[in-house]
C-alpha cells in the first residue's frame, strides 16, 4: 500500500544550525526556504536530495508538538518517516482496520507539501512515528 519514501522528518533545536551541518559537513546543495506552519507548531525547511528529502522541523510557539521530543533529545534527532499513498482516506481506514492508531481526530491535515497527511502512533509501527501523505500532484 505505501509508495515512495517522501521524506524523513528530523527534529532540531535550530534549523539554521542543521542547514549549516547538512550543507557544510554532508555537502547538501539544495534547500527550501524556512517556513512556519503555525497550526502544526513547527518551522520547516526541506533538504532536497536526489531521491528524497529531509524535513527539518523546529518548534514554533510555546505548544509545539516536538518540544517534548527535543527535551528528550536536546540535539534533535530522527522524528518520523513519511510514505506516499495514493488515497489518504482509504489509507487511514485501512490502517485503522489493521489495528494501527491514527493520531489526533484522524481527519487528514494539510502537511508541509500542501497535501493531506495523517500520522500513525509509533506503538503500532515498530517504534517509528509514521506519516502518510497523499501523493503530490506533480510527484517526482
Ligand atoms: Co513530515
Which one is catalytic: 39, 107, 131, 135? 131
Q: Quick check: is 140 in a domain? A: no
Helix runs in 1-139, H state only: 15-24, 67-72, 88-97
Span from the CA of 9 to the centroid of ligand 1 (angstroms): 5
Q: What confidence score (pLDDT) does residue 137 get?
A: 80
Q: What confidence score (pLDDT) does residue 123 get?
A: 97
Q: Quick check: is 81 in a domain? A: yes
User: Coil, strand, or helix at residue 37?
Assistant: strand
Span from the CA of 84 to the centroid of ligand 1 (angstroms): 11
Q: Quick check: is 98 in a domain? A: yes
Span from the CA of 81 to the centroid of ligand 1 (angstroms): 7
Q: Has this prediction a pTM greater than 0.85?
A: yes
Residue-wise pLDDT tens for the chain (140 aa)?
899 999 999 999 999 999 999 999 999 999 999 999 998 999 999 999 999 999 999 999 988 999 999 999 999 999 999 999 999 999 999 999 999 999 999 999 999 999 999 999 999 999 999 999 999 886 45
What's the number of domains the chain is made of? 1
The residue ranges of DSSP E strands in 1-100, in sequence order, are 5-11, 30-31, 35-37, 42-48, 53-59, 77-85
> Which structural domain range is residue 32 located in?
5-134
* 71 catalytic residue (yes or no): no
* Domain CATH code at residue 78: 3.10.180.10
Closest CA to 109 of 8, 38, 34: 38
Q: What is the grid cell recorded at 77?
A: 534527532
Q: Quick check: is 54 in a domain? A: yes
Amino acid at each position: 500500500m505505501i509508495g515512495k519514501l517522501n521524506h524523513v522528518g528530523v527534529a532540531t533545536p535550530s534549523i539554521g544550525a542543521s542547514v549549516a551541518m547538512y550543507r557544510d559537513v554532508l555537502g547538501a546543495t539544495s534547500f527550501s526556504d524556512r517556513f512556519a506552519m503555525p497550526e502544526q507548531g513547527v518551522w520547516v525547511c526541506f533538504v532536497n536530495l536526489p531521491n528524497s528529502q529531509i524535513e527539518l522541523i523546529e518548534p514554533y510557539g510555546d505548544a509545539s508538538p516536538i518540544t517534548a521530543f527535543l527535551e528528550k533529545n536536546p540535539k534533535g534527532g530522527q522524528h518520523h518517516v513519511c510514505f506516499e499513498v495514493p488515497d489518504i482516506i482509504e489509507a487511514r481506514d485501512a490502517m485503522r482496520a489493521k489495528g494501527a492508531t491514527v493520531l489526533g481526530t484522524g481527519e487528514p491535515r494539510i502537511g508541509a507539501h500542501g497535501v493531506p497527511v495523517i500520522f500513525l502512533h509509533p506503538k503500532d509501527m515498530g517504534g517509528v512515528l509514521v506519516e502518510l501523505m497523499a501523493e503530490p500532484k506533480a510527484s517526482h
